[in-house]
Each structure stands twice: as C-alpha cells, then as structure tokens.
Structure 1
Amino acid sequence: MSVETPAKPRLKTSAMIASIAAEGQRTISAPFGHALAELAAKKPEIVGMSADLAKYTDLHIFREAHPDRFYQMGMAEQLLMMAGAGMAREGFQPWLTTYAVFATRRAYDFLCLAIAEEGLDVKVACALPGLTTGYGPSHQASEDIAILRGMPELTIVDPCDAIDIQQAVQPISDHKGPVYMRLLRGKVPAVLDEYDYTFELGKAKMLREGADVLFISSGLMTMRALEAADALRADKVEAAVLHCPTIKPLDEATIRAAVAAKPGRLVVVAENHSVIGGLGEAVAASLLGSGTVPSGFRQIGLPDRFLDAGALPTLHDRYGISTEQVVARTLDWLDA
C-alpha cells in the first residue's frame, strides 16, 4: 500500500508582498508609514515623495493622512532626488521612498551631488534591501550599503524590525542632514519590544549576553541572531547579540568594548548584505585598526555574486542567512 506524503505549501515569489515574517510571528503593519504620518502631524515641514512606489514603501499611509504634502514623482528616481533637494532648500524635510536598487544604482550621482555634498536635510527610505525579494538581481539590493558607505556626510541606518523602524523615524527626522534608511515594509515582525531596547541614532545596543559567541548584526539579521542564540543553547553555547542599527557612523567604541570584554569568544558579524563592503568589513577594519583582535572572526552575509530568483525561505537557506544556517555555521566554526 502506497503512503502519500502531504503536499507542502507552494512557496511564492513576489517583489511587492514577500514577507520575512515566520509563520505565526507577531507583526505590525506598515510601521514606517504610520510612524511618519504621526510625526508629520507635529512637524509641518515634513513632506513625502515617491517614485511611483508609495504603496510598496508604505508611504501611502502618509499620503492618506497628509494628501496635500505628498508628491508622486513617477518612475524617475533621479528626478526624485533632485526634487527632494529642491524641497529641502525651501525649508521642507522631504522623505523620499523607492526601492533600494533604484536609489543606489540608478540615482547615485544625484543623491551624492545634489543632496549629500550640499548637506541637505533629505531622508531616503528604501524598500527591498538585501535579500528581501525573490525577483532576482534587478530588485535585490545586495550591495546598497557598499555603494553608499563611501559617500561623505551620509548617515546609513539598517533597522531590525517594526519596533526599530517606529522608534527610528523621529531621531532620523531630528538629525539635520541626509540619511539613507533600509526599509522593511508591509507586515513587519515585531521582536525588539521583548528586550530593553530603544533606538538611538549612531548607537549599537547589546540585546543579550553570552560567553561563547558574540553576534554583531544589523537589519533583519539581528532577528536571526536572536533566534540562533536561543537555538544554540541546546548545544550548550551561550551567544551574545550586539545590534548595530546605524552602519554609518559606526558605533566603534561599543563594538570594541564588547569584543574586548570577552576576548576568547568567537565574533560573528551577520548582515543582510554582500560580504563585500558592508557591516562585516566595517567592523573588521575598526577592530584591526584599534588592535582589538578577537580569537576568531567570521562573516555571515550574502555572497559576492548575483543572486538567484525564487522564494525567500529557499534563498535564505541557499545563501546562508536563515536561522538554521546561522546556527549550523556557528557550530561548525566553534568545532573547527
């Protein structure tokens, strides 16, 4: 008698609605859009501008709340940057939204010369950072931080979850100068409210301590590091998690202090970004430059290649950024 295996649910690929939330995980809908709309009620200088992607960057929430302060610029990211620069020169604080690939690859020169060089108070919030879409290299911004880290005067923020995004909007607005924020949108997991955490621009925060491994992470990989730390306890491995939501300027003092506090533990930098030019290399350079050398240093990130299209769970496993892969690779390194 043959036994039928229950069919697994079909994994879907979508640039617009792909979610990083695990089944049953607590989420908050459109945290960026709601936080910005709420802040704009108190700050009349805030305006919202999008390159035909308001719905897919959650800026439609702002548009509904403040229709007279929303500007649809069409599929013209270079124009978006220039118009934002013009609005800033007139005393407004524009928040520009598009996909990360378009803001960095397509409009780099305009962001650099019209906004950053002039030190204008423009905020650029970009969806689909790293591997958060299954649509392949045309939409996967696996190198956006590497592209922008070398741009002077630009602050770069990579929030972990909905709580981080909600808390980051006001400090980013209060900071005078250009900011690039990687944006998780839609139904975004809520994790950090379970920890004693408050977002501070430019500051890294220790979320949990552990004697064997120190995860230094940003963005969604902080969620994965926290999940991995819980799972590693089954193997009697205690892992600390240091969350670095601000990539530039990097909180080098806190990172160095965390590494120096327990020099015998393995340091693993985890990021939803290429291993080239992101948080991992920034941390390594800071530690080497200060003479703070850990007993072991490893990176978890996306490979230096164009990534495949497919369903996100499959791709996260394939490229080593799923929780299961973080656990397996950490154990391998500890056993080496």
Structure 2
Amino acid sequence: MSEVKKIATRESYGNALIELGKEHENLVVLDADLAAATKTGMFKKVFPERHIDCGIAECDMIGIAAGIATTGMVPFASTFAMFAAGRAFEQIRNSVGYPHLNVKIGATHAGISVGEDGATHQCNEDIALMRTIPGMTIINPSDDVEAKAAVRAAYELDGPVYLRFGRLAVPVINDNDDYKFEIGKGVVLREGKDVTIVATGLCVSSALEAADMLAEDGIEAKVINIHTIKPIDSDLLVEAAKETGKVVTVEEHSVIGGLGGAVCEVLSEKYPVPVKRIGVNDVYGESGPAVKLIEKYGLDGKGVYASVKEFVK
C-alpha cells in the first residue's frame, strides 16, 4: 500500500495565493512578520510589489487591509489564528465586519496541532469568536485540495472571510475527479445508517479512519465534511440526523462555540437528536509534538473511534 500524501494547509494557502495572483492583479497579501510561517513569503517572491509586511502589528494590519478593500483591491491579511482572531478581534469586528468590507483573513497555525509552541499559540477559540461577527464567512478546509479551493472561493465571494489553516501536514483526502467545493455546502464522504460523524479541518481524515474501524465492529457511520462553519449546511445536517438518529461532531477546536456548537444549534431547533461533541474540552493546550497532542486529546482516528463506539452503545 502506497504512503498517503500529506501537505500542510498553510502550504496550500501560499500556493493558492500565487495562482490567484497570476490571474488577478487586484489581489494584495498582507502579513505580520510571519511570512515564512504563514507561507505568504511564497507570494512575496513572485509579487513583491503586492506583498505588505506590517510587522508585529496585527491590529494595524487589519486596519490597513480594511482601507485597501475600500479601493477595490482584495486583501488577504495573514497571521497566526491566535493573533488574527484573538489580538485583532476588535479591528476585525469594527473595521471589517461592521462595514462588511471585502477582506480575507488567512489564519494559520490554528488548534493544538501547533504543537511545541504551546498553549499561548494553540488557538482553540477562533471559530467561536469569528462566528459572532455578523456576515463573517468561516472556512476550515480539511486538506490541500480543499484549502486551495477555499482560497479561490474566498476571493470570488464579496465580503469578509475567515480562512483557518494548520501547521501540521495532513493527508490529502479530496484528490478525486468528482470533488466539488461550494461555500456553505457540506460534503458526504461516506454513507452509513447507525451514526453520523460530522468533522471539520484535520479531523475529517480522523473521522474517516474511525469510520473504517467502526465498520469492522458492524457500525456503519456516515461521514460528513463541514468545511464551511458559517454559513453551515443546515439541510444536510438535518437530513443526516433523520437518517441515523445520532450525531457526533469532531473538531480541533473548543467544544464550545465551534463546529459542535453550530451543529447543536441547528439540530436543537430543527430536528433534535442525541449529539456528542469531540474536541478540546474547555481546557488550554500544552506544549508537545503535534501528533502526540492530537492523540492525547482524542482527535486521531483511534480516539474518535473509541468515543463514537461508546456513544453508539
């Protein structure tokens, strides 16, 4: 069996910006002294005149991006998720969200898979924060293919978009001819009748692994990839809940306010069923190798398998 190809979605972000930059002269990239880490340095090498390093001043960067957006240019403001959603929340809310400006926020290094950088940099709250901003679109791609498609879709959408990318290389799972990305539409990756596993980001591959293991135990799990957290695909979630009667959410984010919260909001209003949320359980992260942290917090295939099996029983 050949080894699964793995690529970090932050790499995909850099590559996608270059491709879009070749097609659209109105695309501008901003960074906050992290171009090497966010991979916007790749864009800078090709289009130095359209890359602005704002220094360690994320709040200023968002303000600059907002100003640029008023000229008809399309700015992609890039930094770590902790500094984008956390440090610059007020600027995103008031300078981008309130006037509904066409600013794209490329937030890399999200979640505990930041690894050795530790709890201060492992942002597990960013989706929750961004969900509260009216009119904000939130996309959390699962792999290289989806990340590139998401960046393109974000450019084409008129309005603010929060794009969430990871530091860790993750399996490429959407490399097939029938893959289609559409903002606000979930993707059914596997059919099943016993339970629905709804996952986002790097946890989508974990959900697929868990589904394979569950199948060996005679449990048929439906797997849905929700790449767009807001607006979320309510119709698909309700349909799945009706089919299986139980739903499990999996995310590399706090169980409060992220995918799990969004799914529970939909189902509690439209079709209540038992829901189990798998994620970071209201704790800070810790320093350690990314893969080991994912395992410790139960977000790998085996961890998801064990949680879903217990829930179904």
Normalising by structure 1, report the TM-score.
Answer: 0.88
Q: Which residue of 1 aligns with 2:272?
A: 293
User: Partners in 1 of 2:204 and 2:255 — Cα distance?
Assistant: 16
Q: Which residue of 2 aligns with 1:178?
A: 160
Cα shift readout 1:60-103 (whole Å, capped 9, x = no counterpart): 11111111111111111001101101111121100011000001
Question: Do the aligned residues in 2 keep the contact of 1:127 with 1:183 (CA within 8 Å)?
Answer: yes
Question: Do the aligned residues in 2 keep the contact of 1:196 with 1:207 (CA within 8 Å)?
Answer: no
Letter in 1 for 2:296: R
Q: Which residue of 1 aligns with 2:306?
A: 328
The structure with more helix, counted as a fraction of residues: 2
* Alignment length (residue pairs): 309
Q: Relative to structure 1, is the Cα distance of residues 189 and 58 closer, same or farther in structure 2, using a 3 angstrom cutoff?
A: farther
Q: Which residue of 2 aligns with 1:76?
A: 57
Cα distance, 1:312 vs structure 2: 1.7
User: Partners in 1 of 2:247 and 2:14 — Cα distance?
Assistant: 35
User: Partners in 2 of 1:297 and 1:83 — Cα distance?
Assistant: 42
Q: Which residue of 1 aligns with 2:186?
A: 204
- Of all paired residues, the percent bearing the same amino acid is 37
Cα distance, 1:209 vs structure 2: 0.2
Letter in 1 for 2:158: K
User: Partners in 2 of 1:132 and 1:177 — Cα distance?
Assistant: 29
Q: 2:141 matched to 1:159?
A: yes
Q: Which residue of 2 aligns with 1:216?
A: 198
Q: 2:251 matched to 1:271?
A: yes
Q: Which residue of 2 aligns with 1:249?
A: 231
Q: 2:212 matched to 1:230?
A: yes
Question: Do the aligned residues in 2 keep the contact of 1:218 with 1:270 (CA within 8 Å)?
Answer: yes
Q: Which residue of 2 aligns with 1:31?
A: 12
Cα shift readout 1:19-53 (whole Å, capped 9, x = no counterpart): xxxx9430246211111111111111001110011
Q: Which residue of 2 aligns with 1:117?
A: 98
Letter in 2 for 1:284: C
Q: Relative to structure 1, is the Cα distance of residues 195 and 139 closer, same or farther in structure 2, using a 3 angstrom cutoff?
A: farther
Question: Do the aligned residues in 2 keep the contact of 1:133 with 1:312 (CA within 8 Å)?
Answer: yes
SS in 2 for 1:133: helix
Question: Do the aligned residues in 2 keep the contact of 1:136 with 1:307 (CA within 8 Å)?
Answer: yes
Cα distance, 1:313 vs structure 2: 2.3
Question: Do the aligned residues in 2 keep the contact of 1:155 with 1:248 (CA within 8 Å)?
Answer: yes
User: Partners in 2 of 1:218 and 1:188 — Cα distance?
Assistant: 13
Q: Which residue of 2 aligns with 1:47?
A: 28
Letter in 2 for 1:75: I
User: Partners in 2 of 1:172 and 1:76 — Cα distance?
Assistant: 24
SS in 1 for 2:193: coil
Q: Which residue of 1 aligns with 2:108?
A: 127
Q: Which residue of 1 aligns with 2:285?
A: 307
Cα distance, 1:188 vs structure 2: 4.5
Q: Which residue of 2 aligns with 1:189?
A: 171
In the alignment, structure 1 segments of 5+ residues that lack a partner are 1-22
Cα shift readout 1:241-268 (whole Å, capped 9, x = no counterpart): 11111101111111111212x143x310
Cα distance, 1:284 vs structure 2: 0.9
Question: Do the aligned residues in 1 keep the contact of 2:194 with 2:221 (CA within 8 Å)?
Answer: yes
User: Partners in 2 of 1:287 and 1:195 — Cα distance?
Assistant: 32
CA RMSD of aligned residues (A): 1.6
User: Partners in 1 of 2:113 and 2:307 — Cα distance?
Assistant: 21
Runs (4+) of structure 1 exceeding 6 A deviation are none
SS in 2 for 1:193: coil
Q: 2:75 matched to 1:94?
A: yes
User: Partners in 2 of 1:186 and 1:314 — Cα distance?
Assistant: 12
Cα distance, 1:319 vs structure 2: 1.3
SS in 1 for 2:241: helix
Normalising by structure 2, report the TM-score.
Answer: 0.95
User: Partners in 1 of 2:187 and 2:279 — Cα distance?
Assistant: 20
User: Partners in 1 of 2:269 and 2:97 — Cα distance?
Assistant: 27
Question: Do the aligned residues in 2 keep the contact of 1:58 with 1:185 (CA within 8 Å)?
Answer: no
